[in-house]
Amino acid sequence: MISRFVVIILLILAFAFSVHSQDKKTNVVYLKNGRIVAGRIIEIIPDQLLKIVTAENIVITIAYADISYVGNERMEYYSETTDSTLYALGITYSLFAGLAFPADEFGNTNHPSAGYAKTGSIVGAEVNFPLVRSLYINASIAMVKNAVDEQSFRLNGLPNTITSRIESWTSFWVMPGLRSETKFEHVTMFASLNYGWTLVQSPVIFLSGNFSALTSPSNANSQPGYAVTIGGTAFDHFTFALKYFHTKPSLPVTVMSNPELLDPMIAHPALPSSSFFEQPVSIYSVIIGFSF
């Protein structure tokens, strides 16, 4: 009880002192989880909460139970002694998952570069390193899987006498970039632009008929790609975002079969042939995640 009374008195004194010394000093609230919030205390409700406005003019509400103690320090001392601590506390990590929607040629079924891709899934992780105020260096890694629309593939001219089985597209995205944030009381809105390395793996295609079989094996190609993200983080932990990915790999297509038995099948325009082709991969994804 005594310690609580002392903390309340210190908060009130810090608040009163800040009114008369705003030009020289700042209130520094030290939290029990190790974080530090600096600014000007504008409201205190004993035993409940305090409100502090930061240099960016953001009002932050802090629960009384989360406070370790409150100091009233000169800004130059604060900036010199807490830069490294604040930098470490400013690094954020997040894990995310969601739905991946193919776009443009990648999800098309009537295009020379049609990917026949269906809605798939995405999982990934991000880390953000503070650069300057509200600007971060962002590093993102993600894996996306999109099944192939076999029915559309068949309707595009594949004879009914041929049985098909097609696996999924798989893509990996490893991308550094920049992220900008705008902070509100309970939500932080952000936008990021990433450019980096992508690896796209084509699906395996199995076709059989007329007592023979044809296989188009999986191939992979690495190309540069980019991603754009717009989203937000609620209550410092819950992330929601819309991501757009794009790359354009050049994939080899190789047909392995018995030529004598498969001549009629190989001649069919809907079947793959031995060549290279550019396959644009465009994906919109809706994700949710957890940040810490």
Backbone dihedral region for residue 191 (phi beyond 0: left; psi -120 to 50: alpha; all else: beta): beta
CB 136 within 8 A of CB 178: yes
Distance of CA 116 to the CA centre of its chain: 25
The DSSP bridge partners found for residue 195 are 226
Question: Each residue of 258-292: pLDDT tens digit?
Answer: 444 444 444 444 444 546 778 899 999 999 999 98
Pick the most confident of 47-61, 180-194, 266-280: 180-194
Question: Each residue of 4-27: pLDDT tens digit?
Answer: 555 555 555 555 544 444 444 578
DSSP for 22-34, please give it.
TTTEEEEEEETTS
Question: Each residue of 133-161: pLDDT tens digit?
Answer: 788 999 999 999 999 988 777 666 666 77
Please indicate whether residue 97 or residue 188 has the higher confidence score (pLDDT): 97
What is the structure's pLDDT at 15?
55
Backbone dihedral region for residue 13 (phi beyond 0: left; psi -120 to 50: alpha; all else: beta): alpha
Assign 68 a pLDDT band (cuts: 50, 70, 90): confident
Task: Write down the pTM of the prediction.
Answer: 0.67
Distances (CA, A) of 94 to 66, 82, 141, 283: 23, 24, 11, 20
Domains defined for the chain, CATH in brackets:
2-88 (2.30.30.100), 92-291 (2.40.160.20)
Please indicate whether residue 100 or residue 38 has the higher confidence score (pLDDT): 100
- pLDDT over 90 (residue 53): no
The DSSP bridge partners found for residue 228 are 193, 244
What is the structure's pLDDT at 143?
97
Rounded distance, CA 68 to CA 59, Å?
A: 19
Rounded distance, CA 93 to CA 5, Å?
A: 37
Rounded distance, CA 284 to CA 229, Å?
A: 10
* Amino acid found at 76: E
Residue 31 tokens read as: 């939290």
Q: What are phi and psi of 150, to 5 degrees?
A: -65, -35
Residues with Cβ within 8 Å of 208's Cβ and at least 6 positions away in sequence, in order, are 162, 163, 214
Rounded distance, CA 255 to CA 215, Å?
A: 6
- Which residue bears the tokens 């975002």? 241
Residue 84 tokens read as: 């490294």
Average pLDDT, the chain: 79
* Amino acid found at 83: D
* Amino acid found at 267: A
Rounded distance, CA 166 to CA 97, Å?
A: 24
Nearest to 44 by CA among 17, 73, 80: 17
CB 201 within 8 A of CB 220: yes
Rounded distance, CA 156 to CA 260, Å?
A: 25
The residue count of the chain comes to 292
Residue 48's CB is within 10 A of a number of other CB atoms, namely: 10
49 burial type by CB count under 10 A (0-12 exposed, 13-18 middle, 19+ buried): middle
